[in-house]
């Protein structure tokens, strides 16, 4: 074991996401029956307070956004490939859970605020799903919330048609519990819906 990792408290996990080491402290056993990834919810691990602008041009905080189980995704509306696929998949998860009587909010946070105005976000998310909430903000606000969720992103190219590289994880966040699980691009909607249902059941 690396000397830097020696002496960590029992219950601490060391996790690698995007090449970055995360310390997830004091693993909560509440959701052990549901957990499929190596990242567990923990104090200050992933997620946290944020202030953003919603698709209706209103300033909102995490307390106003995370009012029920939420699947949080970071992307951008000009994305030509993975973002629309992931957003559509998360919309399908929302419908699958609704069939089980579970209400989920799919949240789409832009990492391209220069182009993703509230109006653009609203048009995009309304097309994807009536419940999907689009969030944007200033460069500083987006940088802060991305940091909270350990999301990496960067601009590629110049001009109007530039692309953005970014982390493509969907984060399950529960009221009172915060972040509890993540799902990768390519994971099927049914598997994610089953996982979310497990977390919701154990959170009660």
Domains and CATH numbers, the chain: 48-203 (3.40.30.10)
Residue 35: its pLDDT value, please? 83
* Chain mean pLDDT for the chain: 86
C-alpha dihedral sign at 169, 82, 110, 69: negative
Instruction: Give the pLDDT mean for 161-186.
Output: 94
- What phi-psi label fits residue 170: left (phi over 0), alpha (psi between -120 and 50 degrees) or beta? beta
Confidence of residue 13 (pLDDT cuts 50, 70, 90): very low
Residue closest to 69 by CA, chosen among 175, 169, 145: 175
pLDDT over threshold 60, residue 51: yes
Q: Name the pTM for this structure.
A: 0.84
Q: Which residue has the higher pLDDT, 39 or 55?
A: 55
CB of 154 closer than 8 Å to CB of 169: no
Q: Which residue has the higher pLDDT, 25 or 171?
A: 171
pLDDT over threshold 90, residue 27: no
pLDDT over threshold 90, residue 201: yes
Confidence of residue 33 (pLDDT cuts 50, 70, 90): confident
pLDDT over threshold 70, residue 81: yes
Token couple for 156: 């590629």
Instruction: Give the pLDDT mean for 12-24.
Output: 43
Residue 39: its pLDDT value, please? 60
Q: Which residue has the higher pLDDT, 37 or 131?
A: 131
Confidence of residue 84 (pLDDT cuts 50, 70, 90): very high
User: Does residue 33 sit in helix, strand or coil?
Assistant: coil
């Amino acid at each position: 074991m690396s000397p830097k990792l020696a002496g960590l408290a029992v219950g601490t996990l060391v996790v690698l996401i995007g090449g970055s080491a995360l310390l997830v402290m004091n693993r909560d056993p509440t959701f052990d029956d549901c957990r499929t990834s190596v990242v567990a919810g923990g104090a200050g691990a992933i997620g946290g307070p944020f202030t953003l602008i919603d698709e209706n041009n209103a300033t909102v905080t995490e307390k106003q956004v995370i009012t029920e189980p939420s699947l949080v995704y970071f992307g951008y509306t000009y994305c030509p490939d993975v973002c629309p696929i992931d957003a559509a998949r998360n919309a399908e998860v929302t419908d699958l859970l609704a069939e089980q009587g579970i209400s989920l909010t799919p949240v789409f946070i832009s990492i391209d605020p220069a182009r993703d105005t509230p109006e653009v976000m609203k048009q995009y998310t309304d097309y994807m799903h009536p419940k999907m909430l689009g969030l944007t903000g200033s460069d500083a606000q987006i940088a802060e919330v991305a940091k909270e969720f350990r999301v990496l992103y960067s601009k590629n190219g110049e001009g109007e048609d530039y692309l953005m590289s970014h982390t493509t994880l969907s984060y399950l966040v529960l009221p009172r519990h915060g972040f509890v699980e993540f799902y990768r691009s390519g994971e099927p909607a049914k598997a994610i819906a089953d996982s979310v249902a497990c977390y919701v059941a154990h959170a009660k």
